[in-house]
Structure 1
Amino acid sequence: MVSRPEYHDPADEDGMEPPSKSSRKRAMHALQDLGQQLVDLSVERLRKVPMPEELFDAVRDAQRFTSHEARRRQMQYIGKLMRNVDPEPIQAQLDVFNGVSAAEVARQHRLEKLRADFIEDEKVLEHIANTWPQADLQHLRTLRRNALKERDNNKPPKSFREIFRVLRDLEAAGADDDTPDDSPEQA
């Protein structure tokens, strides 16, 4: 009697099957899509994304190409380069740019609360001055006065929005030194 060789299942060794061809293709397309998001960024934002120099150069080349076929090939090349890069830090930075990250959402909520507190009580201006000494306090007072007038007259909240922009810019400028705590109770 001839014995038949036993079937050896590679999944028995490590408990996992190798990824299917379809799942590998999906992963490669996801990396290419991430590369496309990089190509769509401005140069200033692109410099803030953590990536190897070779990938940065490939993305900059893709931004220059106008021919559809050249751009398509370059996108495939970017996808190939992305296979050797950890996509998590890149995706995290893109999420920050898109306002999707939890830290970015928390920062926006903190600034919105600070703005609301400032509109309700001008004494919050002292906290703003202590937190960001470079702040133009007279400009903020004017914006607050205009925002209150707009609210009373049921006009569009132009100054209210401008206060948020000013606070956001102040925080961004202050983030280079040390990120301050924005709670007015600690003023």
Structure 2
Amino acid sequence: MDDHSQDEDFDAERGPSKSQVKRDMHALLDLGRQLIALPGAKLAQLPLDEKLRDAIALAQRITSHEGRRRQTHYVGKLLRQADADPIRQQLAEWANGSREQARSMHRLEALRDRLLAEDDALTQLLDDFPALDIQALRSQIRAARKEARDNQARQPAQAPARKHYRALFQTLKQLDFEDDTPDGHATGNH
């Protein structure tokens, strides 16, 4: 064996380096901060033991900067004894889900705006969803366009009407989008 492989074996026998242990502790401290920032309803969904759950609840109630800092460190210390992987996975799922939901809502808003601006968008949507009730959809689009024209005639202090604009969005939300392409055009189940 060469000297380099012996050093690797020696490190493997000693365990993680001090630097790695410190990085792991800081990661748990950051995880504790994330947990403290969560609302109670989300915390209730996480697999936390009672002691950790109580420590997080106390940290959320503390208003003193130094007291909260110490309690946050205590939460990080308790996380060393907990299985942090399922907690991290759930937090990541929530974060990714929220981003995906936001992207989906933005795509629907863009589709609604295209439907209101151009007639060709309706033709494309009907190609993607041939089972759509075309009369009802055209009626909603006409009502939303009329609402937009009426809003332009309103005084600046008056709030714009959004009833038909929102109703069209709700109709689009009901569509089953199978594949969303990057250009914003969605294809549906045929």
TM-score per shorter chain, which class? 0.5 to 0.7
Q: Which residue of 2 aligns with 1:109?
A: 103
Number of positions where the alignment pairs a residue of Structure 1 with one of Structure 2: 146
Deviation by residue 1:42-86 (Cα, 9 ceiling, x = unmatched): 323333444333322110011122344433332222112111233
SS of 2:177 mapped into structure 1: coil
Deviation by residue 1:122-149 (Cα, 9 ceiling, x = unmatched): 777xx8xx9xxxxxx9xx8799548955
Are 1:42 and 2:28 an aligned pair? no
Tell me, yes or no, if the aligned pair for 1:50 and 1:89 is still in contact at 8 Å: yes
Gaps of 5+ in 2: 1-5, 117-121, 154-161, 179-186
Are 1:86 and 2:83 an aligned pair? yes
Tell me, yes or no, if the aligned pair for 2:46 and 2:90 is still in contact at 8 Å: yes
Tell me, yes or no, if the aligned pair for 1:119 and 1:144 is still in contact at 8 Å: no
Deviation by residue 1:6-46 (Cα, 9 ceiling, x = unmatched): xxx68438957621112211211210121012112232333
Are 1:70 and 2:67 an aligned pair? yes
Distance in 1 separating the partners of 2:24 and 2:13? 17
Distance in 2 separating the partners of 1:31 and 1:142? 55
Are 1:185 and 2:188 an aligned pair? yes
Alignment RMSD (CA, Å): 4.4
SS of 1:37 mapped into structure 2: helix
Give the TM-score normalised by the residue count of structure 1.
Answer: 0.53
Tell me, yes or no, if the aligned pair for 2:176 and 2:188 is still in contact at 8 Å: no
